[in-house]
């Protein structure tokens, strides 16, 4: 049997409302919010009796989702938010945008900080990393003329 799709990427946050606002500003839609709790959920995660508030964010094309989770119990046990780009484990989520400069300006108003600089890669992409809410590492990519022409 073959892999069908990737359903979502999950990120644990402290301030769910701020994270939702940030990703809405980026262009994702809030698909829904829910409380996930109880013994059945703990059997899936291995955390036992858990109580988690989640928000599912959907990309405009409808193909990708980002699950934001705020753990009420058990308590969060590690913090990877300030890990550098070369840290093991979760690295970043990358989003393609129409205009990287406009996106940066909008996200800076929500606290985003540029990690390095915006760089052109072979006249195909403009790329950068930012730190979003709570230090979450996010990549932004803007397709440039030569790649857009290939799609037409």
Of 76, 108, 136, which residue constitutes the final position of a domain? 76
Instruction: Tell me the pLDDT tens digit for each residue of 29-73.
Output: 999 999 998 888 888 888 888 899 999 999 999 999 999 999 998
Helices (H), 63-118: 100-108
pLDDT, one tens digit per residue, over 94-126 is 999 999 999 999 999 999 999 999 999 999 999
Domain boundary among 49, 76, 103: 76
Q: Tokens 């809030």, residue?
A: 30
Check which CATH number belongs to the domain holding 60 and give it: 3.10.180.10
Note down the domain range covering 103.
84-152
Note the pTM of the prediction, 2 decimals.
0.86
Q: How many domains does the chain have?
A: 2
Max Cα-Cα span within the chain: 52
> Are 65 and 114 members of one domain?
no
Specify the pLDDT at position 146.
Answer: 57
DSSP run (H or E) holding 40: helix 39-45
98 and 60 fall within a common domain: no
Distance CA 11, CA 19 (A): 10
């Amino acid at each position: 049997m073959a892999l069908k799709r990737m359903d979502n990427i999950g990120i644990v946050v402290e301030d769910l409302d701020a994270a939702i606002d940030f990703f809405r500003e980026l262009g994702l839609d809030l698909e829904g919010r829910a409380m996930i709790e109880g013994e059945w959920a703990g059997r899936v995660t291995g955390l036992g009796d858990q109580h988690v508030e989640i928000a599912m964010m959907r990309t405009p094309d409808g193909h990708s989702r980002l699950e934001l989770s705020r753990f009420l119990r058990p308590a969060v046990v590690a913090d990877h938010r300030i890990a550098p780009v070369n840290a093991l484990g979760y690295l970043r989520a990358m989003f393609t945008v129409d205009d990287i400069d406009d996106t940066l300006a909008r996200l800076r108003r929500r606290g985003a900080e540029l990690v390095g600089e915006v760089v052109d890669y072979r006249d195909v992409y403009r790329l950068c990393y930012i730190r979003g809410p709570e230090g979450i590492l996010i990549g932004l990519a803007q397709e440039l003329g030569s790649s857009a022409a290939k799609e037409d």
